[in-house]
Chain A
Amino acid sequence: MEILKPAVAGTLESSDAQVTVEPGDGKVEFNLDSSVINQFGNQIKKVVMETLDRLDINNVKITVVDKGALDCTLKARVEAAVYRSVDQYDNLPWGGIIR
């Protein structure tokens, strides 16, 4: 998939994450802001990268502001931001590349 325009999903509430995607410069640029970056930074990056990989995205600037989100929330926010960037809201591939 190609990121067509900047898009945001998620909130700054506890247990959530706010994810912003923007068209990249030919690579994946990952930025993370989290109060638990020392404990969970690597795990958060792993989940985000795996999610982008499943969505076949390799050209994006992605910023995650984490507020203690579980893995399932991180995935949900990344996917929501990505599908918002391409304006797709129906006939989503549940159980396919969204899993």
Chain B
Amino acid sequence: MVENRPSPTVEASLTALAVSLRGVTKVYDNGVMALGPLDLAVRKGEFISLLGPSGCGKSTVLRLIAGLSAQSSGTVRMSRHEGPRQPGHGIGFVFQEPTLMPWTSVRENVRLPLRLGGVSKPEGRARADAALASVGLADFADAVPRELSGGMKMRVSLARALVTDPDILLMDEPFAALDEITRFRLNNDLLALWRSLGKTVIFVTHSVFESVYLSQRVVVMTARPGRIQADIRIETVEPRSEEFRTSTAYSDYCRKVSAALAPSYQGQSML
């Protein structure tokens, strides 16, 4: 599942949609309007970031796409997965916390989606080991999660999301709890994985800098109920590298995204 595919020719795959949301709203049981109405289209192979103040419903969008939560109105559509049926219906999910099972080994954690999907043990173990190798943790398959650092746990979580070879990777503020240096490294590794695997990535973050560095499109959301405030394309020389982080183009984009984000938190009391 992690064999190196040819780099996705981004322009060629722009036509097909991976996910589309139409007029989607989410109203909580207590009557609070959390989201929308929201329209969002994500093309196949695209890397987009959802950026917004906390509580704006970014995570809810991911949960709706993953089917972990049901929208109150509107439609959520996904491209049909081509090829054999796979566990998770073509979706990989990375949570804000590593969300690993502490009682079992790293390998078993990564194998879990395959195990639930009825993949045989030898095949599952081989695929889990391959996924671990792709995130640079081949030597830690037999460790238990508590023996790993925060960044390594997040890598395990990423390997688990990739093990089913999903078309779409949903990431919910995955690096928010990590220190900056670890985050930078994981950012680069994630970009490298995205380039080699050609997945569609929807990345939720509350960091302007991270969203600009990683994604091709930054979708800025308003405060609750979350709607789309701005949709900003980030165009730069690909593949991105650390040089982009210190370039003027990067800081220009950061300024632009920050300006788009400003209305959603200005005028709000700190309390």
Chains A and B belong together in one complex: no
Residues of B within 8 A of A (CB): none
Chain A contact residues, CB within 8 Å of chain B: none
